[in-house]
Amino acid sequence: MTAATKRLSQFWHPIARVEDVTEQPQQFVLLDEKLVAFRTDAGISVFKDLCIHRGTALSLGTVKNGCIVCPYHGWEFDSTGACVKIPAQPGKPIPAAARAISYHVAERYGLVWVALEDPIQEIPHVPENLDQDATFTTDVFSVLEWNTSAGRSTENSMDVSHFPFVHPELLGDPDAPEQDPYDLHAEDWGQWFRVPNQFWRSVDGTQNSRITYVYTHVYPFTMHLYVTVDGDTSGNVMSVMVIASPTEAKKTKVFRIAFRNYVETNANFVSDYLFILEQDRVVVESIRPEEIPASLKQELHIKVPDLSSIAFRRWLEDVDMQGLAEV
Ligand code: FES
Ligand SMILES: [Fe+2]
């Protein structure tokens, strides 16, 4: 195989909900890198969780006057990562190399996004610009950690042919497991496809419809499920954005955001969703190897249902999954 031209560290990934990053420094993990995130008046800063002096975890420190203070010898780093105070030798020049290693950070859709290297792609967009539409609400309704790779998790989010087996009577009809062909639309940022006439029933069995999904996959690990009820003329739309953040090679933090232009009448929406995800988790965490094989030649692919997954795997063949380049 030829060497990959992209690294996962060159893409934006979410590490937390916005409200989970406070003035109290906390450790997060992305692509096996330990990070410290904290908030000052300048916004959110994300650094490598390591003091340049003796390697102490800055996440054990505190924020004072807009700076993070290392817990070991009290060096202070401003929101950009520059060391502005070395208490043991006041008045002496501070070496230029005395800097925390800082990363790109942005707040979007209620999440904190981080790029460990200069990003080569924007933060994943929301189809139809629903995030900018004042008639739509944005609700981060679930954050789950799964013992699998972000790739396997994302494939599960776009895999329709598992519904009758993993979610019988909820998302799929066990008596009708055939998958109709769909047209895959390739874009430079990812792919999308439309799957109409899908089975849907609430967990308590009181609601029952046929629905249409438009799946939009923004590479590498964001899936949008744009959902409308077949035959419904109300104009109600819900789009669920699913972002699998690769915390470790075999661990994934999955954020889910619902964009809706109506008031959800199913009081059990979140608990139903979590019930379904628990059915998925058991199966997906059993998959070996946990990471998607590096070559499309491994594992078996069925043309109709695995079409989008095949395109994803082709794209992944050009990506170094280990993340950060050696420095
Ligand atoms: S290890 Fe951080 S100040 Fe010494
Ligand atoms: Fe599922």
Ordered per-residue pLDDT tens for the chain, 327 residues: 567 899 999 999 999 999 999 999 999 999 999 999 999 999 999 999 999 999 999 999 999 999 999 999 999 999 999 999 999 999 999 999 999 999 999 999 999 999 999 999 999 999 999 999 999 999 999 999 999 999 999 999 999 999 999 999 999 999 999 999 999 999 999 999 999 999 999 999 999 999 999 999 999 999 999 999 999 999 999 999 999 999 999 999 999 999 999 998 888 999 999 999 999 999 999 999 999 999 999 999 998 899 999 999 999 999 998 766 654
Token readout for 138 is 């944005």
Annotated domain spans of the chain: 6-115, 127-320
Domain 127-320 has CATH 3.90.380.10: yes
Q: Which ligand is nearest to the CA of 161?
A: 2
Q: Which ligand is nearest to the CA of 156?
A: 2
Token readout for 172 is 């799929």
- Cα of 222 to ligand 1 centre, how many Å? 38
Query: Which among 258, 212, 240, 225 is positioned nearest to 158, based on CA atoms?
Result: 225
Residue among 36, 49, 50, 53 to mutate when testing ligand 1 (max atoms within 8 A of CB): 53
Q: Count Cα neighbours of 229 within 13 Å in the Cβ-side half-sphere.
A: 11
- Cα of 186 to ligand 2 centre, how many Å? 23
Residue among 50, 64, 70 to mutate when testing ligand 1 (max atoms within 8 A of CB): 70
Q: What is the DSSP string of 37-56?
A: EEEETTEEEEEESS-TTT--
Residue among 49, 75, 84, 86 to mutate when testing ligand 1 (max atoms within 8 A of CB): 75
Q: Which ligand is nearest to the CA of 61?
A: 1
Domain 6-115 has CATH 1.20.1560.10: no
d(CA 68, CA 76): 6
Q: Quote the pTM value.
A: 0.96
- Is 127-320 the same fold as 6-115? no
